[in-house]
Amino acid sequence: MTKKSAAIGNEAPGMAPTIIGTRPVRPDGIDKVTGRARFGADVNLPGSLVGAVFRSPHAHARILNIDISKAQALPGVKAIITAEDLPVISEDMALINNQPPDFRDLSANVLARGKVLYEGHAIAAIAAIDEQTAHQALLLIDVEYAVLQHVVDLHQAMEPDAPLLHEHLITKGITPAPKKPSNIASRYEQVHGDVEAGFAGADIVISEEFTTQPVHQAYIEPHACMAQVAADGQTDIWCSSQGQFMVRAYCARLLDMPLSKIRVIPLEIGGGFGGKTTVYLEPLAVLLARKSGKPVRMQMNRSEVFKATGPTSGTFISLKIGARKDGTLVAAQGILCYQAGAFPGSPVRLGCMTAFAPYNIPNVKLIGYDVVVNRPKSAAYRAPGAPMASFAAECLIDMLAQKLEMDPVALRLLNAADDGTQTAYGVTFKHIGYRQTLEAARQHPHYSAPLGPNQGRGVASGFWFNIGGPSSAAININEDGTAVVTTGNPDIGGSRAAMAMMAAETLGIPYDRVQVLIGNTNAVSYSDLTGGSRVTFAVGMAVTQAAQAVIEDMKRRAALLWSVEPAEVEWLTGNAVLVAEQKQLSLADIAGQAARTGGPIAAQANINAQGAGPGFATHICDVEVDPETGHVKVLRYTAVQDVGKAIHPSYVEGQMQGGVAQGIGWALNEAYLYDENGRMLNPGFLDYRVPVASDLPMIDTVLVEVPNPRHPFGVKGVGEVPIIPPLGAVANAVARATGVRLFDLPMSPPSVHKAIKKAARRRR
Amino acid sequence: MKKHIQMQLNGQSVEFLCETSGTLLHALRDSLQMTGTKEGCGSGDCGACSVMMNDTLVCSCLVLAVECSHADIRTVEGLAAGDALHPLQQAFLDNAALQCGICTPGLLVAAKALLDKNPDPTETEVRYWIAGNLCRCTGYDKIVRAILDAAQRLRGNASVNELQP
């Protein structure tokens, strides 16, 4: 077994923390190891109905008629809905604050309107007294289709004569606007410097084409929810999601309801990875509950999860880099095409922005295309858009290193972005730790360990923005001086622990005297969803500010009790101290006398957190390739990442290890497979193979800590960047193990075997 | 017609009615309100619904409830003795072996089945034993460590963590 992570870097300024950086048991731990924790499918109300969704068997078809009469007549069926039951969303209501999602598209995604655009597209939903009746009723729904030609292939979808998903879709981002509709929803251009001049000054130019397949977030918990609607329209939704406020806002807009009519009660979330940042079942459950007058529970099966939610985009990427003989990168250029699925909105723009962000390249020109195809609408997946673009870029960097016979880490160090580097997408980096990750990787024993036959070592780096945003936290101080922290963000991987630790550290009280709640939408102020690696940073900032407000209040109350000025009181390790008179009152002392100083003690902080620090990582991967079968075994893996400051190092390591495993799955196994009718061939975990325990080695982690000065404890987001480097790291390792480079993911045994054989034939 | 079933659940005799097509998983979750056992796929591929049936590790989504007449079923809810956690549960907490926690009940049941058979497994044995229990959050590293740690605790040795400097 490998050793525990080493921490490298500086401590946050100020007093040495006593709780931050330790590894206490998470507050929700006991509930999660005893089966008590309630996830999306675990709530039930007396008299509730079971909801089920009728889905399209066709990849592309016009709906001519939906006959629900037979289903309606089945005893036990209490409600049936179709798109007719959804309000029509006008153009001016399509966007909130000019931001995606487009609610007309979202509405047509949750229940197809006029046309189905992928196999599994929801057409109707039923509520019945039990599961059996609901499923019987599904068989009685009769839909008449006019099947249309479909297109699931990215290149075919971009052809001028391709079947059109949306007859009025005119490509955005081209002037003058094209006259004819197409499947290209938008074109994005990112220009930095002068690429032509840049390439003119290059001694070496490397150019390649890459493809990646759509992969699913593959959270183990299928989407699930329950809705109840009172006679006055007051609506309660229990669900697992990445944001209860997101569910409220989306349902309100889709169902044309005021926010105040909807309360969303967050349940534990069984994995999301970006895939639960939108709604599928919730609006249907509300409509069914409204129509039937009874609570309605809904849960997807795994096949529905694969066919109708997620995945992230499959891509085609053509990239070119130019460098001088000494390895200095001078230019990068390329075209990135991302599948959006059935409706516009792939993360291609983020792919363009992140591809070369770790490097200081003066001239970059990237063009991105967002392309609709007859596949499920793509959803966010951990660092959306970045892993595919980075895969292509990091392969080119590795090829350049091979060509120049340079060490791949040394080549990256030569070109590494630093504080002050202006990125191709416009931002100038501050307080970044990319170079430190490279140095730590180079010094790690893994990097110089010997390799055996058929083994190879790959290196790759990655960048992710990380975000802040609107965030809330409330702290209530109980009569005994214990604290309850309430936030509005689902705990997807241990964030309750981080919130409790930051509150306890700030207040100066023990960790186990802090309890953390995730509030429902009526119990806590608005907060953006759990995503963008923002919670420990942004919500942690709100928690810290609320704790600081509690301290100020405590000092004021102690001053009242002592009849002195608040300015004379100091707060030291959980106590109000009057230094001059050597007097001291603990948090518990003050809380116990709260009535004498103004009543109950509480504070809240509602902020729009700014100053998120970008994340950089460098990964080292060793593989062994079986030349007989093409099977790639990951032998050893080390992930190095600048995390700013690890609040709870175990959960930071966990984010890194989990991201690596997902990236390895993306690189080696995972892909959506379709038949000639556009129907998914592998909508289950047997055939869509995510990494299992026996596929992986221990995943070593090195936490580099270059603190973010904009956060009270130095935090940078950590959740997303670890999924970016593995695609390139594994590909580079395979290339070095076999002498053959693969440009298409996944590098499954047949494709690796074929590439090895092809190379051998060429050598003969 | 529903069938009447009596079985032992975590050492307690229980009774319920079920359709002949109903699974043990649905009986546990819907009829008996024991929602600690999770449904991840319904096809025996993810292991989230792992339970012990007459001392055999099974996916409860693949077992019909009517097969459980007079069977001895053990679920995650039966692991702890009152408020005393099983060493595996404690090791999962101490090693931060869960992130979202949805796979945790199935993994704990599966890991207990392993340690009951093999009190001193190697890392490789642990990895192959739990290969039927998918976890999408952790990359398995901390889960494997937690199981090895629990094995050591159950053998009467100090926790792996306590031995580390």
Q: What is the pLDDT of residues A19-46, one digit of tens each?
A: 999 999 999 999 999 999 999 999 999 9
CATH of B87-158, one of 3.30.365.10, 3.20.20.80, 3.40.50.620, 1.10.150.120: 1.10.150.120
How confident is the model at residue A16, as a pLDDT? 78
Q: How confident is the model at residue A15 (pLDDT cuts 50, 70, 90)?
A: low
Q: What are A369's strand-pairing partners?
A: A187, A337
The alpha carbon of A16 is separated from its chain's Cα centroid by a whole number of angstroms, namely 32
Phi-psi region of A275 (alpha: psi -120 to 50; beta: other; left: phi over 0): alpha
Find the radius of gyration of the CA atoms of chain A.
27
Calpha distance A160→A147 (Å, rounded): 21
Which residues lie below 8 Å from residue A610, measured CB to CB, with a gap of 6+?
A468, A710
Three-state SS for A52? strand
Match 């599904």 to its residue by tokens: A138
User: pLDDT above 90 covers what percent of chain A?
Assistant: 96
8 A C-beta contact, residue A250 and residue A202: no
Which of these, A306, A312, A368, A308, lies nearest to A158 by C-alpha position? A368
- Nearest Cα of chain B lies from the Cα of A301 at a distance, in angstroms, of 6
Give buried/exposed letters for A148-165 (b at 16+ CB in 10 A, else e).
bebbbbbeebbeeebbbb
- Nearest Cα of chain A lies from the Cα of B112 at a distance, in angstroms, of 13
How confident is the model at residue B159, as a pLDDT? 67
Q: Where in chain B is CATH 3.10.20.30?
A: 3-78
Q: What is the pLDDT of residues A121-160, one digit of tens each?
A: 999 999 999 999 999 999 999 999 999 999 999 999 999 9
List of long-range contacts for A555-562, beta carbons under 8 Å, 24+ apart: A556/A597, A557/A590, A557/A593, A557/A594, A557/A597, A557/A598, A557/A601, A558/A585, A558/A590, A560/A596, A560/A597, A560/A598, A561/A585, A561/A590, A561/A593, A561/A596, A561/A597
Q: What does CATH list as the number for B3-78?
A: 3.10.20.30
Q: Where in chain B is CATH 1.10.150.120?
A: 87-158
How confident is the model at residue A17, as a pLDDT? 85
Q: What is the pLDDT of residues A551-594, one digit of tens each?
A: 999 999 999 999 999 999 999 999 999 998 999 999 999 999 99
8 A C-beta contact, residue A225 and residue A238: yes
Give yes or no for residue A500 having a pLDDT over 60: yes
8 A C-beta contact, residue A158 and residue A184: yes
Q: In what order do the strands lie in the sheet with A61-67?
A: A115-116, A61-67, A142-147
Question: Which of residues A659 and B1 earns the better pLDDT score?
Answer: A659
Average pLDDT over residues A201-214: 98
Calpha distance A219→A84 (Å, rounded): 31
8 A C-beta contact, residue B40 and residue B102: yes
Give yes or no for residue A14 having a pLDDT over 90: no
8 A C-beta contact, residue A663 and residue A387: yes
- Nearest Cα of chain A lies from the Cα of B146 at a distance, in angstroms, of 12
Q: What is the pLDDT of residues A363-401, one digit of tens each?
A: 999 999 999 999 999 999 999 999 999 999 999 999 999
Tokens of A584: 């001291």
Question: A131, exposed or middle or buried, with CB in 10 Å at 0-12, 13-18, 19+?
Answer: middle
Q: Within 13 Å and on the Cβ side, how many CA atoms surround A531?
A: 22
Q: How confident is the model at residue A9 (pLDDT cuts 50, 70, 90)?
A: very low
Q: What is the pLDDT of residues A217-266, one digit of tens each?
A: 999 999 999 999 999 999 999 999 999 999 999 999 999 999 999 999 99
8 A C-beta contact, residue A37 and residue A123: no
Find the radius of gyration of the CA atoms of chain B.
16
CB contact under 8 A, A301 and B135: no
Give yes or no for residue A654 having a pLDDT over 50: yes
Average pLDDT over residues A65-79: 98
- Of A41, A493, A694, which is closest to B99 when you measure between CB atoms? A493
Give yes or no for residue A601 having a pLDDT over 80: yes
Q: How many CB pairs under 8 A join A and B?
A: 194
Tell me the residues of chain A between 678 and 697 that have a Cβ less than 8 Å away from chain B.
684-686, 690-696
**Residues constituting chain B:** 165
Calpha distance A655→A494 (Å, rounded): 10
Which residues lie below 8 Å from residue A158, measured CB to CB, with a gap of 6+?
A182, A183, A184, A337, A369, A371
- Is some CB atom of chain B closer than 8 A to the CB atom of A220? yes
Which residues lie below 8 Å from residue B83, measured CB to CB, with a gap of 6+?
none
How confident is the model at residue B157, as a pLDDT? 73
Which residues lie below 8 Å from residue A223, measured CB to CB, with a gap of 6+?
A40, A240, A276, A280, A281, A299, A300, A305, A309
How confident is the model at residue A585, as a pLDDT? 97
Give yes or no for residue A548 having a pLDDT over 70: yes
CB contact under 8 A, A132 and B93: no
Residue segments in chain B with a per-residue pLDDT below the cut of 50: 163-165
How confident is the model at residue A763, as a pLDDT? 82
Give yes or no for residue A7 having a pLDDT over 90: no
- Of A4, A44, A219, which is closest to B136 when you measure between CB atoms? A219
User: pLDDT above 70 covers what percent of chain A?
Assistant: 98
Calpha distance A337→A392 (Å, rounded): 12
Q: What is the pLDDT of residues A705-727, one digit of tens each?
A: 999 999 999 999 999 999 999 99
Q: How confident is the model at residue A2 (pLDDT cuts 50, 70, 90)?
A: very low
Tokens of A641: 């990442």
Q: What is the pLDDT of residues A258-310, one digit of tens each?
A: 999 999 999 999 999 999 999 999 999 999 999 999 999 999 999 999 999 99
- Nearest Cα of chain A lies from the Cα of B151 at a distance, in angstroms, of 15
Which of these, A615, A494, A745, A468, lies nearest to B137 by C-alpha position? A494
- Is some CB atom of chain B closer than 8 A to the CB atom of A231? no
Which amino acid appears at position B75 of this protein? T
How confident is the model at residue A5, as a pLDDT? 41
Which residues lie below 8 Å from residue B52, measured CB to CB, with a gap of 6+?
B58, B72, B73, B74, B75, B109, B112, B113
- Is some CB atom of chain B closer than 8 A to the CB atom of A87? no
Average pLDDT over residues A526-540: 97
CB contact under 8 A, A35 and B75: yes
Give yes or no for residue A424 having a pLDDT over 80: yes
Phi, then psi, of A190 in degrees rounded to 5: -125, 115
Instruction: Give catalytic residues of A, as residue numbers.
Output: 720
Calpha distance A139→A127 (Å, rounded): 14
Instruction: Give all domains of chain A, ordered by start, each with its CATH number.
Output: 1-10+430-466+613-764 (3.30.365.10), 468-609 (3.30.365.10)
- Of B103, B124, B145, which is closest to A220 when you measure between CB atoms? B103
Distances (CA, A) of A510 to A122, A465, A481, A592, B106: 50, 33, 11, 18, 33
